[in-house]
Structure formats: C-alpha cells, structure tokens
Amino acid sequence: MKEQQVKASVILPVYNAEKYLELAIESILAQSFYDFELLILNDGSKDGSDAIIDGFVKKDRRCKKLSWPNRGLIPTLNAGLEEAKGEIIFRMDADDICRPDRFAKQFNYLQENSKCVAVGSKVLLIDTDGLPIREFSGIEEHEKIDMENLKGLGSAITHPTVAMRKSSVVSIGGYHDKYIHAEDLDLFLRLAEIGKIANLPEILLEYRQHALSIGYAKRAEQLASAQLAVFDAKQRRGTVSSDLLLSNNVIKTPKLSQIYTKWSWWALSDGNLRTARKYAIKTVLSSPFRWQSWKLVACCIRGY
C-alpha cells in the first residue's frame, strides 16, 4: 500500500491509555476494510502507551506514531487532521473497540451518499471490564440529529464512531478550541451547515464508560461549552432569539452512586443482568441508606 494511495486515515489520540490501547488498536487493524493509515497520536503519555504504540508500528506498516509533549485533545485532533493522507477520516478513542465491519460499512455509505459529510453509528456502551451496559443512539436522519444537537445536551453522533470527509472538516476549520469538552458537538453543528450527517442503524463500536470520564467529571464545563456551541450555531443560522441567553445554572458533578445507579437501570432495561447486578451492588455499597438502592437490588435479583 503506497502512502499516496491511502483511501482513509484513522485518527487515534492517546494519553496514558495503556490499559485498553492494545484492544483498541487490534480492533482497528482487524477491520475488513484494509486500505487505511492509522495515525496514533501520543499526546505526552507518561505510562506504557509509547512502548505499546512502538510495538504496533513495527508489526503493521499501516501504523504511524506521532508524539509531542501534552497539549490536549483538540490540538491533537487537529494535528491528526493535518497529517492525514486519506480523504475519509475515521475517529477512534484509545479505550473503545471497533466491530470488524465498521470501516467498510461507513466508507461504503459515504461513497454511496455524496451529500453526506459525516456518518456515525449505533453503539454498545460497555463498562471498564467490557461488560455490556446498553445499546445507545438510534437517531439516523440528518434533520433529527441536527435538532437533537441544537438542544445542547450532548452530541447525537457519538464522536469515536464518526467517519468524515477530510475536505469538509478542513473547509470549516477543523476542531475549535473555544468549545473545550464539547468540540465534537460544535464540529457536527458546523458540518450540518454544509452537508448531511447521519448514523448507521447498526452497532459498529463498543463505547467504554468510565465514572471519571470527561462526560461525568467535567460535566459542568462540557455543558457550558455545548451551550455556547449551540448559541453560536443559531447566530450563524440566523435563528437566535432575543430570549436565548446563556444559562448560569450550576451543574453538579454526579456522585458515584448516581452513576452506578444509572448504569444498573440501563443494563437491566437491556437485559444485561450480570452488569445490572454488578452496579446494583456498587450502588448499595456506596449509598447503603437510600431505599432506592435496595429497590434497585430487588429489581436486579428478579430480573426486571
């Protein structure tokens, strides 16, 4: 495979990701679609990530390592975009797992739908041990995805599932550092202004959940950035109203017991009893005096 002929580029940012990195890279290299380069962007990791990356670079010529002192996710993503040789960009995180046909299905969709600039997919949420929590994200159509994004509560396309046209992303200026922790929502709002966005109805990614992830630990900052991204999008589109003001509501970081409770109910609703019971026990251990904790345990014991 000659570098100039590569059809796609995978952008994989890495920061202290040694625990799951091998699984993530192996799932990329095992894709049924073969013609891509894997740009592994080591953003100043201080653990064993660098050695893991070097091992894959030696093993598979599609792997390319780029390293620098830590500078954060948004500059790292933009550096990957600049380096990418392929017209199709696949995003991936260092703790997630691609299903084998993910790249093929998304690449073919973009080939068949010339007006589409970005396509994600349905995901399976998994926990830190790889246990299934629930399926997530079923919105497929452009208009519904964009309307959901304009609510500012989260992106209707899961960022590490996305395949995008590089030319489209570059034309709108890549990722903007104005929207820290919500750079994906801003990107999808801007992409929706120049083309169609979509989700495939199949699970193509296993999306790992962590209680200390950005979505939980930095929820207040994330929602503030998301609100700003929506405000700016409405200004660009000429739909901002005089009563649309940025909220100063205080967002509290959820407690572990609240996260465990949510995961347990989610898993129970999807029939993943082992996961549901695991987090019901964690809920009781962290909040033993809440009657809701014991109600959850009872529901998990009976299986509904």
Going by their DSSP bridges, the two strands 8-14 and 88-91 should be labelled as parallel
Choosing from 206, 237, 268, the residue where a domain stops is: 237
pLDDT of residue 214: 67
- pLDDT by residue, tens only, the chain of 304 residues: 444 589 999 999 999 999 999 999 999 999 999 999 999 999 999 999 999 999 999 999 999 999 999 999 999 999 999 999 999 999 999 999 999 999 999 999 999 999 999 999 999 999 999 999 999 877 999 999 999 999 988 789 999 999 999 999 999 999 999 999 999 999 999 999 999 999 999 999 999 999 877 667 777 888 899 999 999 999 999 987 655 555 555 567 788 899 999 999 999 999 999 999 999 999 999 999 889 999 999 999 999 8
Going by their DSSP bridges, the two strands 63-68 and 196-208 should be labelled as unpaired
User: How many residues in total does the chain contain?
Assistant: 304
Cα–Cα distance measured from residue 2 to residue 5, given in angstroms and rounded to the nearest whole number: 5
Q: Are residues 43 and 167 in the same domain?
A: yes
Q: Please check whether residue 107 is in contact with residue 88, taking contact to mean a CB–CB distance below 8 angstroms.
A: yes
| Residue 37, strand partner residues | 9
Spatial CA neighbour of 263 closest among 296, 228, 294: 296
Within-domain flag for 251? no
Cα 278 off chain centre by: 24
pLDDT of residue 146: 96
Within-domain flag for 243? no
Q: Are residues 218 and 288 in the same domain?
A: no
Range of the domain at 27: 3-237
Q: Are residues 170 and 198 in the same domain?
A: yes
Within-domain flag for 247? no
